[in-house]
Amino acid sequence: MQIIFTAVGQRGCTFLDWSFHYLAGYKQYWSIPKSGWQLLPANPLQQIQSNAHLHRRNHPTGLVACEEWLDRAQQYTEPKDISFYCCFDDRVTFQAQNGTARYAETLQRCMDRGARVVLVESDLPLPGIPNRDNTRYDPDTLCNELRIKFPDRDRLPDTDPGRLREYMAFNMHYLRLRDWECRTPEELQTLAQHTGFYRLNFHNWIFSGEQAIQQIMHHLNRPIDSNRWQQWQTIYAQWNNFWKPDLQWAQDLDGIARAVCSAESVDLEPYRMNLVKEAELLYVLMHQHGCGLRHRSHSQLPTNTRDLHQLLSNRS
């Protein structure tokens, strides 16, 4: 069986890929680039606690490569299951090139050829740069990320935190995942009619992962190795602890902005604040409430909305 784990945006597909192989009881997985077996890590977070990248899953770059890798996967006779992560080519040009339609067509063709597809989707505008390495307020690392996200890379400001925060807020349409990255595009809705298609809500994957993975394993007709279940639960709890503050932030952001404007006290520390989230808050304040923040030079904003209220400008 060939399984494609995919998402429009960063949705934990690597951990999902590892979870499938681990809970199916496999000790190895088939590497398409190396045409051979690779050891499945007992814990994909062992070296990098904020993601599962110790698991070197199959990762073709672009939609054309996805179908080429499926060609290769279907030529093998030895492995029982081969999985890989399908992604589109370039986030910046994706929408302009009718990317959602090409994405849906690629997945449809793969399923028509017998592949199974698990799509992880979200209905919240998640940050375009998750705080993977817990750098939080490291402007140098952030600038490196921004050079990937922004089309006008040469116009990026220097690494002054205040200037970066303001620049990101004014260019949030590049940074914040767009609607077609947050919600299932119309072109993908028709895929649900295919028996090989499974939709996994990202919120459920993070907050109800045990039930979610059981349903996926059932859909893929693979029993869960009971000897590995308890260990998987422990590893899952470590992994989803990274994502929870980001999802909660996306869910609460509008209310937080209102609290800033009304001088209501809300502690922001549980959201694991960073420059990107501060820029998102500034973006919402500007576009929904018509106000900004004074003192651009702040390297880190206060972590209570009542204190942030004192920095508001142009408030009525």
Q: What is the pLDDT along the chain (316 residues), one digit of tens a residue?
A: 999 998 876 778 889 999 999 999 999 998 888 888 889 999 998 665 567 778 888 888 778 888 888 988 888 877 789 998 887 655 544 555 566 777 888 888 899 999 999 988 877 666 555 555 555 556 666 666 665 556 555 566 666 777 778 888 877 766 655 544 544 566 677 788 888 999 898 889 989 999 999 999 999 999 999 999 999 999 999 888 888 888 888 889 999 999 999 999 999 999 988 888 888 899 999 988 998 887 666 678 899 999 999 988 874 4
Pick the CATH number of 2-124+178-224 from 3.10.450, 1.10.10, 2.60.40, 3.40.50: 3.40.50
H helix or E strand, kind and range, residue 84: strand 82-86
Q: Write the burial class of residue 89 (CB in 10 Å: 0-12 exposed, 13-18 middle, 19+ buried).
A: middle
Torsion of CA 308, 270, 205, 45, to 10 degrees: 120
Q: Name which of 201, 18, 171, 188 is nearest 92 in CA terms.
A: 171
Tell how strand 2-7 and strand 82-86 pair up: parallel
> What separation in angstroms does the CA of 289 have from each of 113, 173, 281, 293?
51, 18, 11, 12
Look up residue 95 and give its DSSP letter: T
- The pLDDT value recorded for residue 152 is 59
The CB density around residue 2, as the number of other CB atoms within 10 Å, is 21
Domain map (residue ranges) of the chain: 2-124+178-224, 129-175+244-316
3-state secondary structure 205-219: HHHCHHHHHHHHHHH
CA distance 66 to 74: 12
3-state SS class at 300: coil
Q: Name which of 103, 80, 75 is nearest 91 in CA terms.
A: 103
Tell how strand 116-121 and strand 2-7 pair up: parallel
pTM value is: 0.80
CA distance 308 to 214: 43
Tokens of 48: 């990098």
- The pLDDT value recorded for residue 92 is 45
Give me the residues paired with residue 129 across strands: none
Q: Name which of 85, 69, 86 is nearest 35 in CA terms.
A: 69
- The pLDDT value recorded for residue 221 is 94
Buried b (16+ CB within 10 A) or exposed e, 157-195: eeeebbebbbbbbebbeebbbbebbbbbbebbeebeeee
